A and B are shown apart, each in its own frame.
Chain A
Amino acid sequence: MTSESNITPVIKIDHVWKYFDELPALQDVSLNVYPGQRVVIIGPSGSGKSTLLRSINRLEEIDQGIIEVEGVDVHSREHDINRIRQNLGMVFQQFNLFPHKTVLQNLTMAPIKLRNTPRMEAEERALTLLKKVGISDKANVYPAMLSGGQQQRVAIARALAMKPDIMLFDEPTSALDPEMVGEVLDVMVNLAEEGMTMICVTHEMGFARTVADRVIFMDKGQIVEAGSPDDIFNNPHHPRLKQFLNQIL
């Protein structure tokens, strides 16, 4: 943490506000994420965690403030958001695999169409990624034939196929049967160990504790407390955080 001041952040969130109609969803949120950092965002539902994450790749528009990814203002009309998004892998709660494509095609579609990667090369890389997430034997089946955990692992591989610098996870295990949570978290832990910059919204406190460099606690659209997992879980200050931790742990 000491060297942070002289490294430029990959993601810079600066005094961001967002409203849903009249309701503030994000209130003056500021956050820097540095290369290789694993940031975990926790908080009660409706606290703006997902909104914040989704505004990083502009799936949500913001009303005020600046979000920069690798020095580029994401919400400025001057920049091609599609190009920026290629560098920001995203994993959704509901997997959102393309049901009309096989697992392999789910992984190769974006590199082939968007990066003009030769098919052979894209498929080779896709198979390597599928091996990495432990489902290389399912390359030619359709997503409907996979379990939730398998689908989410494919979704992670699909995002990785574009070789992103940063991965965003939006409650990746919340829609899974309990016995499948582990297999998805394992993949995420491996990814973290490889040095991927990750921002993860999750309710998995065990994951937050062991993997995160920095834990952010949000409530009512604000960052209430931020710190190392040790600070947040063993030495919480804010009463709202204490109350939250009491309820879930």
Chain B
Amino acid sequence: MVPERVAKAEKKDWAFINAWSLSLFGAIAALFTLCTLWPEPYLDVLSFLPDGLFVTFEVTVLSISCAVPLGLLTGLGRISKNRAINLLASTYVEIIRGIPLLVQIFYIYYALAKFLQVSGLTSAVIAISFCYGAYMGEVFRAGIMAISKGQSEAARSLGFNRFQTMFYVILPQAWRTILPPVGNECIAMLKDTSLVSVMAMPDLMQRGRSFAAKTYLYFETYTIIALIYLIITLLLSKGVSFMETRLNYYDKRK
């Protein structure tokens, strides 16, 4: 029989084996193995991709910095007592949620091209921000509504106006509920930027496609592409859960 203390220690030693670490280290190991054993196709693919990775990050970061404020505005609009604002925000959410992102990307790209000259990057960022702004609007709305009514009553009774109450009292608390789903939306956004390859944006996916088209190495190329996306999103999801723990500071009974 194993003494209890030993059993516990052993259990702890195995804690690092979980779905996340298996996927991450598996992906890294696979990437490393492929590139060292068969540098001929795999290392060639890999060395062709950094430019695309940069574009992917560029589109993602720009889209996040537009979609988060847009989501906040949408969320506030959805809970607004002003009927016009509320209707505007709700209609926006309804419409955007009903159209696939790929269709939106095509639509905005060609619709904008009709009226004004915009770069592929601009229309990609607009399309993705508009789409994710709607989804994030729902996240913000739910997060704000989860804060008890007593909090805003307490702030209002001290003399804070509606905006001060929202920004000093409600949002700082709602942020905790909002952050994990918003973080997940951002990760989903990074993955969805692969859709902009359809309009010849030289992102990670598009770079892979053109490499494969030239060399006919479809399997090898998309293996590497998949592994890179996987590694990035796994690292980001760890970042989100780390922030989540940081935001719980005021709950702990020290």
A59 touching B168 by the CB < 8 A rule? Answer: no
Contacts of A57 in B (CB 8 A): 157
Interface size on B, residues (CB 8 A): 23
Could you say which of B154, B159, B251, B252 contacts A92, with CB atoms under 8 Å apart? B154
Q: Are B250 and A85 in contact (CB under 8 A)?
A: no
Name the residue among A82, A100, A162 with the largest chain B CB count within 10 angstroms. A100
Task: Give which listed residue, B154, B158, B160, B251, contacts A144 with CB less than 8 A.
Answer: B251
- Nearest chain B CB to A117 CB, angstrom units: 13
A57 to chain B, nearest CB (A): 6
Q: Is A86 an interface residue (CB 8 A)?
A: yes
B169 interface hit (Cβ, 8 Å): yes
Q: For A97, list chain B residues within 8 Å (CB).
A: 154
Say if the beta carbon of A71 comes within 8 Å of chain B: no
Chain B residues 136-186 with CB under 8 Å of chain A are: 148, 150-151, 153-161, 164, 168-169, 172-173
The residue on A at minimum CB distance from B165 is: A82
Check: B5 CB closer than 8 A to any chain A CB: no
Q: Is the C-beta of A199 less than 8 angstroms from some C-beta in chain B?
A: no
**Residues of chain B contacted by A77 (CB below 8 angstroms):** none
Interface size class of A (residues with CB under 8 A): 20 to 34
A158 at the interface (CB under 8 A from B): yes
Please give me the residue from chain A that is nearest to B150 by CB atom: A96
Interface contact B251-A96, CB-CB below 8 Å: no
- Could you tell me if A92 and B173 are in contact, using CB atoms closer than 8 angstroms? no
B174 CB, nearest partner CB in chain A, Å: 10
Q: Is A99's CB under 8 angstroms from B159's CB?
A: no
Whether the pair A99, B158 counts as a contact (CB closer than 8 A) is: no
Residues of A74-111 contacting chain B, CB below 8 A: 82-83, 85-86, 88-90, 92, 94, 96-100, 109-110
Chain B residues with Cβ below 8 Å from A189 are none
The answer to whether residues A94 and B150 also contact, given A99-B250, A145-B254 and a CB cut-off of 8 A, is: yes
> Could you say which of A83, A110, A113, A114 has the most chain B C-beta atoms within 10 Å of its C-beta?
A110
- Which one of B156, B157, B160, B249 contacts A113 once the chains associate, using CB atoms below 8 Å? B160
Hey, which chain A residues are within 8 Å of B169, CB to CB?
98
Contact B158 A92 (CB under 8 A): no
The interface centre, meaning the residue of B154, B158, B164, B253 with most chain A CB atoms within 10 A of its CB, is: B158
Assess whether A144 is in contact with B156, with CB atoms less than 8 Å apart.
no
A142 within 8 A of B: yes
Contacts of B160 in A (CB 8 A): 82, 110, 113-114
A109 to B155, CA, bound (A): 10
Interface contact B159-A109, CB-CB below 8 Å: no
A159 contacts chain B at the CB level, 8 A cutoff: yes
Let me know if B158 and A158 touch, CB within 8 A: yes
Mask, B64-100, CB within 8 Å of A = 1, is 0000000000000000000000000000000000000
Are B157 and A90 touching (Cβ within 8 A)?
A: yes
Query: Do the beta carbons of B164 and A92 come within 8 Å of each other?
Result: no
* CB atoms of A85 and B150 under 8 A apart: no
Which residues of chain B come closer than 8 Å to A86, judged between CB atoms?
158-159
CA distance A142 to B249 in the complex (A): 9
> What separation, in Å, do the CA atoms of A99 and B169 have in the docked complex?
9
Structural contact, A110 and B158, CB atoms closer than 8 A: yes
Contact at B159–A98, with CB atoms within 8 Å? no
Residue pair A85, B172 in contact (C-beta under 8 Å): no
Are B250 and A144 closer than 8 Å at their CB atoms?
A: yes
Q: Are the C-beta atoms of B253 and A144 separated by less than 8 Å?
A: yes
Beyond A144-B250, A144-B251, A145-B253, is A98–B157 a contact (Cβ under 8 Å)? no
Task: Supply 18 A–B pairs (Cβ within 8 Å), ascending by A.
Answer: A59-B157, A82-B156, A85-B156, A86-B158, A90-B157, A94-B148, A96-B148, A98-B151, A100-B173, A109-B168, A110-B160, A113-B164, A113-B168, A144-B251, A144-B253, A145-B253, A145-B254, A162-B159
3 smallest CB-CB distances across A and B, nearest first, come from A96-B154, A86-B159, A90-B157
